[in-house]
Amino acid sequence: MNDNKRFFDELRGTGDSSRAPYANYTEWFDGEDIRDLNRKSSEAENFFRRTGITFNVYGQAEADERLIPFDIVPRIISASEWTRLTRGIEQRVRAINAFLYDVYHRQEILRAGRVPVDLIARNEAFLPQMIGVEPPGGIYTHITGIDLVRTGENDFFVLEDNARTPSGVSYMLENRETMLQMFPELFTKVKVRPVSDYPTNLARSLGACMPVNASGEEAVAVLTPGIHNSAYFEHAFLADNMGVELVEGSDLRVQDGKICMRTTRGYRPLDVIYRRVDDDFLDPLNFNPDSLLGVPGIFDIYRAGGITIANAPGTGIADDKAIYSYMPDIVEFYTGEKAILQNVPTWRCSEPDALSYVLDNLEELVVKEVHGSGGYGMLVGPAASKKDLALFRKKLEAKPGNYIAQPTLALSTVPILTKAGLAPRHVDLRPFALFSPRGVEITPGGLTRVALKKGSLVVNSSQGGGTKDTWVLEGD
């Protein structure tokens, strides 16, 4: 089958001329020399290396810092497309927060029978310690990074709701900086909405969620697992751009009912911690006792209103892959509206009928671990070898409850620059939404991940994916 017919290309659509959002860009591109652009492209790589925008790959001791490849062709979204997306994202973020408040309080949705009790009660992502806890400002997910894919002119699907500690926002910002440096003239030709306000908005958004017992200083810090974490660059980047301290567990301790950080002048109280440490490692006294990354007793201080933790502990129950399939119900239950963004049809392998369907159609489906993340431990049926298929068949039969399956989506393509010119590659999109008592703020843009290998549908950076700058236009 012809790739161009089967997949929606965001540059060409179904015809041969550029779709409207790409018109100005194409006009510019046609006047450029491919060799010059390829040279620019390697300049971009140098730029990233110098800036230190790297990520560490787990399980690779040597070359522990790698670059995520950057493609210089932007992914372009029109104003009206974006408006529709943001309405859907806002609806979803509000529903997720209402759902979280509910499952940790009255559990109306379980009583109403819209979500099975077992799915919550037996879920590792459900944090019983959070029952009855009032998060400051009523906010659970201060930052959400919802993964979207497109399959047609008007078809957007939510692939995943990242409600724990979504990463990638530094790439959104640095990709734009890079483009501004490399192609300043393009930005006078094409009116692109800026993304650079994100750190300021994040700081303001976090500052609007002071705990009950606040210090009066509005002291915010970013908590990182440390220099060896795969996203350390991003943690440092965000702290730097917000103008707040970047702390590790070893810099913090409990003092007088507050979390305090060790400064050159003694211990100073903090009010908000934007943590990039998983729930499990947050507090060895309350969660994983072996954790060296967290702060002993931080959860007790949280419950007593001494600190705001963003995102709140226990948000994982909202982006769990088994919960995902209930999201259309969840959105409707709390907002009274139909979900604006579609869900991908999902087979829950814990259900015998679904399991037998999945086993019968394995070569057509994508199988994901319920608790996995980042493209680890996943099977893409159409691209898998016989051996992989057999292996997953065994896994599914052994522990069906660990897996969900989805149809292989016809992910849209956006061109990348190759030596020979433009070539279509599959993409997804992760916009970032901030939520505070002031409302939902969605930065016009996001992280576009692109599968650089021809025909590949896996966009994860750990699996050979790259990124693109994402442009949201002022107009259509």
Q: Which is nearer to another protein, 29 or 237 (CB)?
A: 237
Nearest approach in angstroms of CB 233 to another protein is: 8
Minimum CB separation of residue 423 from another protein in Å reads: 31
Cβ at position 244, least distance to another protein in Å:
8
Chain contacts with another protein (rule: CB under 8 A): 49-52, 227, 232-233, 236-237, 239-240, 245-248, 250-251, 261-266
Smallest distance, another protein to C-beta of residue 259, A: 14
Nearer CB in complex with another protein: 238/396: 238
How far, in Å, CA of 362 to CA of 372, rounded? Answer: 19
Specify the residue, 233 or 287, whose C-beta has the smaller distance to another protein: 233
**In the complex, minimum distance from the CB of residue 232 to another protein, in angstroms, rounded to a whole number:** 7
Q: Which is nearer to another protein, 162 or 229 (CB)?
A: 229
Taking the complex as a whole, the smallest distance from the CB of residue 279 to another protein amounts, in Å, to: 24
- Rank residues 190 and 239 by Cβ distance to another protein and give the closer one: 239
Phi and psi angles of residue 30, each rounded to the nearest 5 degrees, phi first: -65, -25
Of 266 and 336, which CB lies nearer to another protein in the complex structure?
266
Indicate the residue among 157 and 198 with the shorter CB distance to another protein: 198
Q: Shortest approach of another protein to residue 190 CB, angstroms?
A: 26
Please say which residue, 114 or 262, places its beta carbon nearer to another protein: 262
Query: Shortest distance, CB of residue 260 to another protein, whole angstroms?
Result: 11
